[in-house]
Amino acid sequence: MEERWPRIVTTRRPNEVAPNLLDDDAARRRFTWARAREGLDGLPGGGWNIAHEAVFRHARTQGKKVAVRWLGRHGERLDITYADLAVRVAKFANALNAMGVGEGERVYALLPRVPELYVAALGTLAHRSVFCPMFSAFGPDPIASRIRIGGGRVLVTTPALYDRKVRPVRAQLESLRDVVLVDESWAAAMDMHAGTYAIGPTPANTPALLHFTSGTTGTPKGALHVHEAVLMHHLTGRYALDLHADDVFWCTADPGWVTGTSYGIIAPLVCGLTMIVDESDFDGDRWYEILSRERVSVWYTAPTAIRMLIKAGMEAAKKRDLSSLRFLASVGEPLNPDAVVWSEQAFGRPFHDNWWQTETGGILIANTAAMEIRPGSMGKALPGVEAAIVRRTAKGVEVIDAPDAEGELAIKKGWPSMFVGYWNEPERYEKCFVGGWYLTGDLAKRDADGYFWFVGRADDVIKSAGHLIGPFEVESALLEHPVVAEAGVIGKPDAVAGNIVKAFVALKPGCKSSTELVDELLGWARKRLGTAVAPKELSIVPSLPRTRSGKVLRRLLRARELGLPEGDLSTLESSK
């Protein structure tokens, strides 16, 4: 796949700020964690606290600067300065103390993207209890199971969400002692508490965040992260997203997904810039309007959204003044190469793909601003991160050094935002580590220059007639066809081949399904991929099932195709 796409070197505009990472390889060689601490404060008595680095220290030095520009569903626009945010965060932390919440106890949020969500997150971190965000679109069961698993002590939610989703399951939630409602009385309730807060000792390994995985491969796991992760949030904010203090940054992810916390709350504030929070969900027109009106300079989003923008056509982008955009990044799913090329044409800037997981707490592999982009590649390991392609053996793991060899992506243990446990599942956690490596469960290749190429999740890889086929490659080939908007590929058991490749495809608006089109798409894929890899079967469907974080649920496509039980559907995008 790699050879067919031109490499992209972004030309910088005159007067454009220099990238934080000027020379990738040199930075990698020079890197030390001691140096990575520069630009952060640390607590006076030692240790790190995320809320201190994100809010309190900036409140002193740049209190008047806008930290959060909140855009409400109905056109509201609210600016919260660093000084104002610090007061709100302090009040919330004091409120937790007043409720008798102890250090390390879990504070859950079930909120739309309203300012109080951000205040609750940072207030919980200042207080040193553990913050656990949930998507407000979750139904009662996923809410109850997450609160039960993590033993949630406090829940912050709205009266309407409480009535619809929590009340029916409240009796099952024995650990839940306090429900804090975001309603008209919120401001008065918060005003009862002091607007300053002295953060207590926060050793580096103090638990900070409990994040549930997306549930793409099965039941979501609760990954626990510590305050020291802020080192990684800061480093990756600067290096992988190229954040500068003057940027207007927009991460479109909801904090219910780890991206929306690490990069929709922590990293941008730690970098001291102005971040956009949009309460609404995806809407192409609204998004272009926000990018252009708010003069967004760095934009972090996901392939599903990018594909929806592509589906809507380039004209919609060309109509707008998007000249403020300097750096575009994507995460969560493989970013197909034609989307990178499309964005270069539509915005004059390519999307920079990067890779990480809930478990890794922050970006580990990225196309930084200093790099030549190879469309279809996730980029290189960031400074301070050692990534390798490995094979599991009877004795442990073996590192595969040969370029372009396929294997499991592994990360050398010990980066600061590494998860410290799956909540209540110590054995599952232990199994992720072998011989000093964290095994990611993703298959990838590394080329001779150190660029990583995603192959697929180990669970999704298809064994067909002696070949190992990664769904991503097949999906990418289908997505290059002008009528295809979305594609999902699975293995379907077959008596002769072991498995055959089966594709599901959703079409762009105005395109009609027909048996001729199915044949054409199958032929298109055969021409690009060869008969061994191309799908043997293809169904045109109205849309593909996705998680709330926007990932194609291949396990559900497979279960439905084979008439098997559908498994955990709590994270399905459309389930209410």
Min. distance of Cβ 357 from ligand ATP in angstroms? 4
Question: Nearer to Mg ion by C-beta: 213 or 464?
Answer: 213
Choose from Mg ion, ligand ATP, none: what does 370 bind? Cβ within 5-8 Å by kind: none
Q: Using the minimum distance from each CB to ligand ATP, give the nearer residue, 115 or 350.
A: 350
Other beta carbons within 10 angstroms of residue 77's beta carbon come to: 10
Instruction: Tell the smallest beta-carbon distance from residue 561 to ligand ATP (Å).
Output: 19
Residue 355 near which of Mg ion, ligand ATP, none (CB within 5-8 Å, type-dependent): ligand ATP
Nearest to 223 by CA among 252, 254, 262, 251: 262
Between 264 and 272, whose beta carbon lies closer to ligand ATP? Answer: 264
Q: How far is CA 413 from CA 74, 274, 294, 410, in A?
A: 46, 33, 40, 9
Contact residues toward Mg ion (CB under 5 A) are 213
Least spacing, CB of residue 376 vs ligand ATP, in Å: 10
Question: What amino acid occupies position 339?
Answer: A
Least Å from the CB of residue 337 to ligand ATP: 12
To the nearest whole angstrom, how small is the minimum distance from the Cβ of residue 373 to ligand ATP?
Answer: 13
If contact means CB under 5 to 8 A according to the sort of partner, which of ligand ATP, Mg ion, none does residue 374 touch? none
Distance CA 143, CA 88 (A): 26
Q: Is 298 in contact with 250 (CB distance < 8 Å)?
A: yes
Q: Which does 158 bind (CB under 5 to 8 A by kind): ligand ATP, Mg ion, none?
A: none
Q: Indicate which of Mg ion, ligand ATP, none lies near residue 499 (CB less than 5 to 8 Å, by partner kind).
A: none
> CB of residue 361 vs ligand ATP: minimum separation in angstroms?
10
> How do 397-399 and 387-392 pair as beta strands?
antiparallel
In DSSP notation, 394-428 reads SSSEEE--STT-EEEEEEES--TT---EETT-HHH
List, as own/partner pairs, every contact residues 211-214 make where C-beta atoms lie below 8 angstroms and the sequence separation is at least 24, other chains included: 211/132, 211/133, 211/258, 211/261, 211/358, 212/132, 212/134, 212/146, 212/358, 213/258, 213/357, 213/358, 213/359, 214/257, 214/358, 214/547, 214/548, 214/549, 214/551, 214/571
In this complex, which beta carbon is closest to Mg ion, that of residue 383 or of residue 407? 407
Q: Which helix (H) or strand (E) holds 309?
A: helix 303-312
The smaller minimum CB distance to ligand ATP, of residues 236 and 357, is found at 357
Asked if 268 and 240 count as a contact pair (C-beta separation under 8 A), the reply is no
Cβ closest to ligand ATP, residue 439 vs residue 483:
439
Q: 127 or 554, CB closer to ligand ATP?
A: 554
Min CB(432)–ligand ATP separation in Å: 11
Residue nearest to Mg ion (CB): 213
- Which residues of this chain interact with ligand ATP, rule CB under 6 A? 213-218, 220, 258, 331-334, 353-355, 357-358, 378, 440, 442, 454, 457, 549, 551
